[in-house]
């Protein structure tokens, strides 16, 4: 083309090497601090997830919930017939810029058919799956239908009277509400969970009547004790909630904590089986059955002959067939302990308040909702007040026309131009433009005394209404009275009995019989990097070489049995207690279990030694780099309660060089960084009951020297053992003699 320069060969070669060379900065590597990258790239994403996705707001909804429900409201599905779910999902995409699958899944969880909410907001028809089943999936959106449930009326009441703010949708083509003007505390009535970035929310559901009564009591008495009226959570799945008032008072006051909920069952004596009919909200049928089968395969549960899912249209049912002579109560106690039939619901009442995530107690949360609802009522009354004042203003202008209707007709008839009608009426009757416009728009048939008198009868009523509305806006007590009245109406219309039964911890029978775990010979292997393997003798004979992580090696190898207790000492002076039976059998050709992850150790904490015991006999010796040794009775690590972690397991005054477990006193060889060896008998060290004792001096070391290793003494390994022994401790030890050095060299080459 004319005016364009011909590219040189040099320009063409540059373009071939970097086709984006014409873009400024393309192809250059820019150094940027990782903190700056996180701040500019990751933090906006994190804030978006927290503010606009995972954490519910004071109306009880996440944005995805609110967009679906508002779309259905605008579609007329509050009173009309059901619509295809695919149609609802498609319309919702105008507000929600996500895929149809995510929107449909959200709608499913709000539906009556899914059975996840105490008071579902969507009235569904078709297969919407079940919350209590992992495998019972919902049908595609083209097959199902839905509309808003009757209780959704309370979500949108007065939404068209400026009770809440509206904002543009993501592309600016529509308006959507920032919150819904709910007339009751939905934030506590229906369960809601979400995981954001760096925080989460987990709100359990409560009975509608109990929540409403609690709100009313808090209005009347801000110091009301919530636990007096709000007994315990309530779930659509039912189950039995184990009640502990102190625990629930803690949850109600802080917004954090956990409580136990267990399944409900009946015993069929005719068929000798247990029927599970209600499960905790936190688990599923498949999870329960899988866990029971695992326990049966492990030989822990021997009383069960079969377990199966018999759920049908009548509801949930897990049947457990029993062997003859089974003690049902005792078996159920063990099943509650070993399976998700008893589970813990963890509470974290994290809610967005004015755009800020806050963890609130129940009383604080309800007070925040009261403030929100008070604002909604004020805005509604103010809206009605403005409309009434506008109407009164128009009617007063109409009243002036009543004085001389003929004059009004004459003004209109004698005005030559249409644009002059309103100004002439304003002059003729001393009214403003708005009033004149209203009069000018009256139909000719209505310009009679009867019509005008009927309209003027509303003036007195409007004036009374205006006075009443102004008094409401000026009185906090009257606004609270309106809120109480609305809450009472909600209780009468939608209140229902509890689904979850409350049982007291003191009334629960406990089985103190220890769990029967099969005991059989095994080999324990522990590596320097903290990996553990439990291998049976048969598997060991059939296996090849050990598999290790790069740089790892075997530290401890012990022949033992499955029921022995394991003590894992860590680099942070702690010990974690476990059992051989807690680990799965494996082969030596795999890496094994990573102990810090298996035992849920703290960050940067690693296991450095393993001790095996059954009766806590013998001693644990701790050799420190500073030349000291601590001899601790193994009994010091025995606990009456089932504690999994003990702090201050050994002294932190100096870095530990070696840990040795012995059943009785024996000879050990200690080596220093200077190459000196000390042979001593552990009987020379007095044992201590205190775990974190600093120990006694064993080896005298010069500055910069330290103990590097400790090992068992093999009889005959030294030509002159007395050379390395001493009558008194501490001692410096001796360098390896030429004779012993040669012997050791010979052994190593062999």
Residues in contact with 201: Cβ distance below 8 Å, sequence separation at least 6, in sequence order: 54, 55, 56, 192, 193, 194, 348, 349, 350, 351
Burial label for 319, CB within 10 Å (0-12, 13-18, 19+), is middle
Give the pairing of strands 501-504 and 240-243.
parallel
Give the helix/strand (H/E) hosting 399. Answer: helix 362-402
Residue 280 in tokens: 């905790």
650 given a catalytic annotation: no
Query: What's the CA gap between 185 and 182, in Å, rounded?
Result: 7
Burial label for 691, CB within 10 Å (0-12, 13-18, 19+), is buried
Query: What's the CA gap between 588 and 97, in Å, rounded?
Result: 51
Active-site pick, 143, 170, 504, 520? 143
Q: What is the dihedral of CA 576, 582, 586, 588, to 10 degrees?
A: 20
Query: What's the CA gap between 381 and 162, in Å, rounded?
Result: 10
Helix (H, G, I), strand (E, B) or coil at 12: helix
Q: How many CB atoms within 10 Å of residue 581?
A: 21
Residues in contact with 445: Cβ distance below 8 Å, sequence separation at least 6, in sequence order: none
Helix (H, G, I), strand (E, B) or coil at 724: helix
Q: Are 112 and 190 in contact (CB under 8 A)?
A: no
Residue 274 in tokens: 């247990």
Residue 252 in tokens: 């109600």
Residue 64 in tokens: 């995805």
Angstrom CA distances, 197 to 210, 611, 623, stand at 33, 40, 44
Q: Which long-range contacts (CB under 8 A, 24 or more apart) does 381-387 make?
A: 381/469, 381/472, 381/473, 381/479, 382/162, 382/473, 383/161, 383/162, 383/163, 384/161, 384/469, 385/466, 385/469, 385/470, 385/473
Following DSSP, what letter does each residue of 428-456 receive, concatenated? Answer: HHT--HHHHHHHHTS-GGG-SHHHHHHHH
Angle 63-74/100-109 helices, nearest 10 degrees?
Answer: 90
Residue 467 in tokens: 């006075």
Closest CA to 598 of 618, 584, 608, 616: 584
- Residue in this structure with the two tokens 């688990």, named with its chain if needed: 283
Which residues are marked as active site? 143
């Amino acid at each position: 083309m004319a005016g364009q320069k011909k590219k040189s060969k040099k320009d063409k070669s540059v373009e071939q090497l970097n086709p984006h060379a014409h873009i400024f900065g393309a192809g250059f590597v820019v150094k940027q601090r990782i903190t700056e990258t996180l701040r500019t790239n990751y933090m906006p994403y994190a804030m978006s997830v927290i503010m606009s996705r995972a954490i519910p707001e004071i109306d009880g909804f996440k944005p995805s919930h609110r967009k679906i429900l508002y779309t259905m409201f605008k579609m007329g599905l509050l009173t009309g017939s059901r619509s295809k779910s695919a149609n609802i999902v498609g319309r919702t995409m105008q507000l929600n810029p996500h895929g149809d699958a995510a929107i449909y899944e959200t709608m499913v969880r709000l539906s009556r058919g899914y059975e996840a909410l105490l008071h579902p907001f969507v009235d569904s028809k078709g297969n919407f799956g079940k919350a209590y089943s992992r495998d019972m999936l919902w049908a595609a959106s083209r097959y199902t239908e839905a509309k808003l449930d009757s209780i959704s009326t309370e979500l949108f009441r007065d939404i068209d009277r400026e009770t809440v703010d509206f904002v543009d949708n993501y592309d600016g083509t529509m308006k959507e509400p920032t919150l819904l003007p709910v007339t009751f505390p939905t934030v506590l009535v229906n369960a809601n969970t979400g995981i954001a970035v760096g925080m989460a929310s987990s709100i359990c559901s409560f009975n509608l009547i109990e929540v409403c009564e609690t709100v009313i009591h808090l209005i009347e008495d801000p110091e009301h004790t919530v636990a007096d009226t709000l007994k315990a959570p309530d779930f659509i799945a039912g189950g039995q909630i184990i009640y502990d008032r102190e625990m629930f008072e803690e949850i109600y006051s802080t917004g954090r904590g956990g409580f136990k909920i267990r399944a409900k069952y009946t015993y069929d004596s005719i068929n000798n089986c247990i029927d599970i009919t209600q499960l905790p909200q936190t688990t599923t049928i498949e999870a329960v059955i899988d866990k029971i089968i695992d326990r049966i395969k492990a030989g822990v549960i021997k009383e069960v002959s079969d377990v199966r899912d018999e759920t049908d249209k009548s509801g949930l049912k897990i049947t457990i067939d029993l062997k003859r002579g089974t003690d049902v109560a005792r078996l159920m106690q063990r099943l509650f302990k070993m399976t998700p039939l008893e589970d813990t619901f963890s509470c974290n009442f994290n809610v967005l308040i004015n755009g800020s995530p806050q963890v609130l107690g129940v009383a604080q949360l309800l007070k925040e909702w009261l403030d929100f609802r008070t604002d909604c009522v004020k805005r509604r009354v103010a809206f009605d007040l403005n409309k009434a004042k506008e109407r009164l203003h128009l009617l007063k202008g109409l009243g002036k026309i009543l004085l001389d209707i003929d004059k009004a007709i004459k003004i209109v008839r004698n005005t030559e131009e249409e644009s002059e009608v309103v100004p002439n009426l304003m002059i003729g009757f001393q009214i403003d433009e708005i009033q004149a416009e209203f009069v000018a728009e009256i139909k000719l048939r209505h310009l009679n005394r009867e019509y005008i008198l009927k309209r003027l009868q509303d003036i007195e009523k409007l004036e009374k209404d205006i006075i009443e509305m102004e008094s409401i806006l000026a009185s906090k007590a009257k606004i609270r009275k309106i809120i109480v009245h609305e809450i009472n109406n909600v209780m009468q219309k939608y209140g229902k009995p509890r689904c979850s039964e409350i049982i007291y911890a003191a009334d629960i029978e406990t089985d103190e019989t220890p769990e029967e775990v099969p005991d059989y010979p095994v080999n324990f292997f522990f590596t320097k990097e903290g990996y553990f393997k439990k291998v049976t003798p048969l598997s060991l004979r059939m296996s090849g070489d050990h598999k290790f992580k790069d740089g790892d090696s075997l530290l401890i190898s012990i022949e033992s049995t499955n029921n022995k207790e394991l003590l894992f000492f860590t680099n942070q002076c702690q010990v974690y207690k476990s059992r051989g039976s807690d680990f799965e059998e494996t082969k030596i050709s795999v890496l094994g279990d990573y102990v810090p992850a298996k035992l849920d150790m703290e960050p940067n904490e690693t296991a450095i030694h393993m001790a095996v015991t059954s009766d806590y006999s013998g001693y644990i010796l701790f050799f420190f780099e500073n030349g000291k040794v601590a001899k601790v009775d193994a009994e010091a690590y025995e606990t009456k309660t089932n504690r999994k972690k003990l702090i201050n397991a050994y002294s932190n005054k100096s870095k530990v060089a070696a840990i040795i477990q012995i059943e009785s006193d024996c000879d050990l060889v200690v080596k220093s960084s200077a190459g000196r060896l000390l042979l001593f008998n552990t009987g020379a060290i007095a044992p201590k009951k205190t775990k974190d004792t600093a120990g006694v001096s064993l080896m005298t070391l010069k500055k910069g020297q330290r103990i590097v290793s400790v090992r068992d003494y093999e009889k005959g390994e030294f030509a002159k053992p007395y050379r390395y022994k001493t009558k008194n401790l501490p001692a410096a030890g001796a360098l390896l003699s030429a004779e012993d050095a040669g012997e050791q060299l010979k052994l190593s080459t062999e």
